[in-house]
Amino acid sequence: MITKSDKRWAFSGHVVLGFIAVCSVAPFILLIIASFTDEAASLRNGYSFTPEKWSKAAYEYILLQWDTIGRAYMITIFITVVGTFSGVMMAGMLGYSLAQKDLPGRNIITFLIMFTMLFNGGLTATYIVYTQVFHIKNTIFGLLVPNLLLNAFSIVLFRNYFEFTMEKALLEAARIDGASEMRTFWSIVLPLSLPMIATVGLMSALMYWNDWINGIYYLSPNSKMQSIQTLLNRINEDIRFLQQNSTVFVPGDAIPSTTVRMAIAVVGILPILLLYPFFQKWFVRGVATGAVKG
Amino acid sequence: MDTAVTVPKKKNGKYNLRRFIPFYLMALPGLAYIFINNYMPLYGMQIAFRKLDYSAGVFNGPWVWFDNFKFLFQTQEAWVMTRNTVLYNLLFIIVGTVVGMTVAVLFNEIRTRLAQRIYQSLALIPYFMSMVIVSYLCFAFLSSDTGFINNTVLKTLGIEPVSWYTTAKHWPIILLIVSQWKGIGFSILMYTARLLTISDEYYEAATLDGASKWQKVWHIMLPMLKPAIILMVILSLGCMFYSDFGLFYQIPMNSGALYQVTTTIDVYAFRALMGLGDITMSSAVGVYQSAVGFILIIISNLIIRKVSKENALF
């Protein structure tokens, strides 16, 4: 039975959530409109939801500059695909071996992995190790390897998943049929754990797609390895530099105009917005099962 | 489980160990990465206790033990970044919990599944965006020349434009809004998952007893959410010394005029290392953060063990 009070509560729910929904989307709409605004108009009136004059000049500029931006795009796609695949495989294999209850050394290994959640050397120490020992500065590994590839959380997720859901009888049957452990893992365990792989893989892919922090540590400003996110960050830094050193300001098109910057940002978020309806379901499911942490 | 079909057990030790070789091999890539990414930096931490000497190599300067830390804590910045990190964390925990819970309860009252799905999907979009992108969005609103707020909102209201990126006093609020804006969709999801576990019987019984909606919220929903909330608060206490680097670095555009209110421990460590090239100070800050962070996590875990043992990390 729906009472009057229920209706009032539902109404306030619609008002508050409607407001949140509008606030969540409006900035993106402003960004997209800003990227289609005529440069002179946006300098005169500021960014606006109802621009005086529309223009697609920013996107024409992007097409002209496609070697820079297209390259950044390819690098982003490359690190996302390679990083996600290797990270999930590593976490899956490690989690699977730790799920063997009688594995000698299992407790020590688990402890060493859990310990990384409690204590870490800090970004500076990590930076020193990667640059002084492994020399990954300005290579693709600088974007790919530090911090993103694997974390204790996903290993533990996989371990628990395998421990609780794998049917022992099925694995034993494969062993008795003479399948090697590697083969069992590859053709029986992995296909059965697709939901888990999808959740962990999705989180990892989002992390790679959105990452700019490795870029500011492991790429020099003029590096050729810029991904979309580090390129966007680079543009921010250049503007800051010019503002702080306005006496040496050289007029010209050293930095992209305001509308072009907005257009590059739109190009950066477009894939996420387009894929959002598809991956959202997996994400929500991941949160519900505790496989995604905040 | 019938043990009859399992592989013969322990004929001798050798056979048994050989059986595990494939598992060790599978574990190897991941373990190697953990060693490089998480354990080698522990060795790198010694830089904080040495004098930096490039000619001898970064790891070979003479030991000065705690001199670098003495120097660090004599600076004004050490106090500012610690204060900022802790206060922002407290602010985010309190506001985040209250806002998240209120919105989730209201979300739960919406009876149309479709509407719920639409709100949920839209509110979650910001969660998936990187902080660089968010900084562009903020810039579109806050830029002093072309920003939407100065040019449209304040103009319509007849208020003088504000130079947002050089006026420090507004930033605690701006950062709070941005962090809530980015996180609200996720909180709705988290709290709703909890609310769904409350059985309908409680509400039905309460309705029969003539309870009002408010009473149901106060006496059913909140008590049921309480363990989850306590757990989340204690967990975030463990992260008190860490901050969202992107939020404090990208959103204020690393503007010097705002450093007093935007420098957190992570931002300082980054700026010392990449901006000033001061490896020693930066690693001293890193050690300070890791050490205090470790103690806080241990304490928060001890509390969790008291409150709800199954959620303890160890």
Mean pLDDT for chain A? Answer: 88
What would the pLDDT profile of B157-170 be if each residue is shown by its tens digit?
Answer: 999 999 999 999 99
The arithmetic mean of pLDDT across residues B289-311, rounded, is: 88
The answer to whether B141 contacts A27, with C-beta atoms less than 8 Å apart, is yes
The arithmetic mean of pLDDT across residues A30-49, rounded, is: 90
The arithmetic mean of pLDDT across residues B266-278, rounded, is: 92
Question: According to the model, what pLDDT value does residue A204 have?
Answer: 94
Among A1-15, A238-252, B18-32, the range of highest mean pLDDT? B18-32
* C-alpha to C-alpha distance for B37 and A144, rounded to whole angstroms: 12
**pLDDT confidence band for B14 (50 / 70 / 90):** low
What would the pLDDT profile of A71-110 be if each residue is shown by its tens digit?
Answer: 999 999 999 999 999 999 999 999 999 999 889 999 999 9
B270 to chain A, closest Cα gap in Å: 8
**pLDDT confidence band for A222 (50 / 70 / 90):** confident
A93 vs B contacts (CB less than 8 Å): 26-27, 29-30
A66 close contact with B: CB closer than 8 A: no
The arithmetic mean of pLDDT across residues B138-155, rounded, is: 90
Question: According to the model, what pLDDT value does residue B157 have?
Answer: 92
* C-alpha to C-alpha distance for A156 and A113, rounded to whole angstroms: 9
pLDDT for A253 beyond 50? no
The answer to whether A294 contacts B183, with C-beta atoms less than 8 Å apart, is yes
How would DSSP label each residue in chain B?
Answer: --GGGSPPP-SSHHHHHHHHHHHHHHHHHHHHHHIIIIIHHHHHGGGGGB---GGG-GGGSPB-TTHHHHHHHHSHHHHHHHHHHHHHHHHHHHHHHHHHHHHHHHHHH---HHHHHHHHHHHHGGGGS-HHHHHHHHHHHH-TTT-HIIIIIHHHHTPPP--GGG-GGGHHHHHHHHHHHHHHHHHHHHHHHHHHTS-HHHHHHHHHTT--HHHHIIIIIHHHHHHHHHHHHHHHHHTTT---HHHHHHTTTT-GGGHHHH--HHHHHHIIIIIS--HHHHHHHHHHHHHHHHHHHHHHHHHHHHH-GGG---
Angle between helices B171-196 and B113-124 (to 10 degrees): 140
In chain A, DSSP assigns E strands to none
A252 to chain B, closest Cα gap in Å: 19
The answer to whether A232 contacts B40, with C-beta atoms less than 8 Å apart, is no
Which tokens go with B310?
A: 């199954």
Question: According to the model, what pLDDT value does residue A126 have?
Answer: 94
What would the pLDDT profile of A259-290 be if each residue is shown by its tens digit?
Answer: 888 999 999 899 999 999 888 888 888 887 77
The answer to whether A232 contacts B136, with C-beta atoms less than 8 Å apart, is yes
pLDDT for B226 beyond 70? yes
Question: According to the model, what pLDDT value does residue B301 have?
Answer: 87
Question: According to the model, what pLDDT value does residue A243 have?
Answer: 66
Question: According to the model, what pLDDT value does residue B107 have?
Answer: 94
Question: According to the model, what pLDDT value does residue A246 have?
Answer: 54
Question: According to the model, what pLDDT value does residue B277 have?
Answer: 87
* C-alpha to C-alpha distance for A209 and B127, rounded to whole angstroms: 13
Cβ–Cβ < 8 Å for B281, B47? no
pLDDT for A207 beyond 90? yes
B309 to chain A, closest Cα gap in Å: 17
pLDDT for A251 beyond 50? no
CB-nearest partner of B23 from A2, A16, A103: A103
The answer to whether B181 contacts A23, with C-beta atoms less than 8 Å apart, is yes
Cβ–Cβ < 8 Å for B230, B307? yes
pLDDT for B216 beyond 50? yes
What would the pLDDT profile of B229-252 be if each residue is shown by its tens digit?
Answer: 888 888 888 889 999 999 999 999
* C-alpha to C-alpha distance for A72 and A66, rounded to whole angstroms: 9
Question: According to the model, what pLDDT value does residue B228 have?
Answer: 81
Question: According to the model, what pLDDT value does residue B249 have?
Answer: 95
Question: According to the model, what pLDDT value does residue A96 have?
Answer: 94
CB-based burial label for B28 (10 Å; 0-12, 13-18, 19+): middle
pLDDT for B5 beyond 70? no
Q: What percent of chain A has pLDDT over 90?
A: 51
What would the pLDDT profile of B174-211 be if each residue is shown by its tens digit?
Answer: 999 999 999 999 999 888 888 888 888 888 899 888 88
Q: Report H helices in A99-119.
A: 106-118
CB pairs under 8 A between A and B: 292
CB-nearest partner of A287 from B1, B39, B189: B189
The answer to whether B44 contacts A28, with C-beta atoms less than 8 Å apart, is no
Mean pLDDT for chain B? Answer: 88
pLDDT for B1 beyond 50? no
CB-nearest partner of B111 from A10, A46, A288: A10
What would the pLDDT profile of A101-146 be if each residue is shown by its tens digit?
Answer: 889 999 999 999 999 988 888 899 999 999 989 999 999 999 999 9
pLDDT for A172 beyond 70? yes
The arithmetic mean of pLDDT across residues A165-184, rounded, is: 83
Question: Three-state SS for A54?
Answer: strand
Q: Read off the pTM.
A: 0.91
Question: According to the model, what pLDDT value does residue A195 have?
Answer: 86
The arithmetic mean of pLDDT across residues B118-140, rounded, is: 94
Question: According to the model, what pLDDT value does residue A287 have?
Answer: 80
Cβ–Cβ < 8 Å for A124, A62? no
A35 to chain B, closest Cα gap in Å: 10
A188 vs B contacts (CB less than 8 Å): none
Determine which helix (DSSP H) or strand (DSSP E) holds A137, and give its type and residue range: none
pLDDT for A256 beyond 80? no
Q: Which residues 242-281 of chain A have a CB within 8 Å of chain B?
A: 244, 258, 261-262, 265, 268-269, 272-273, 276-277, 280
Looking from the CA of A144 toward its CB, the CA atoms found within 13 Å total 19
Question: According to the model, what pLDDT value does residue A110 have?
Answer: 94
CB-nearest partner of B23 from A43, A100, A209: A100
Question: According to the model, what pLDDT value does residue B4 have?
Answer: 43
- B34: nearest Cα among A138, A286, A159, A121: A121
**pLDDT confidence band for A249 (50 / 70 / 90):** very low
What would the pLDDT profile of B49-73 be if each residue is shown by its tens digit?
Answer: 988 887 887 888 888 889 989 999 9
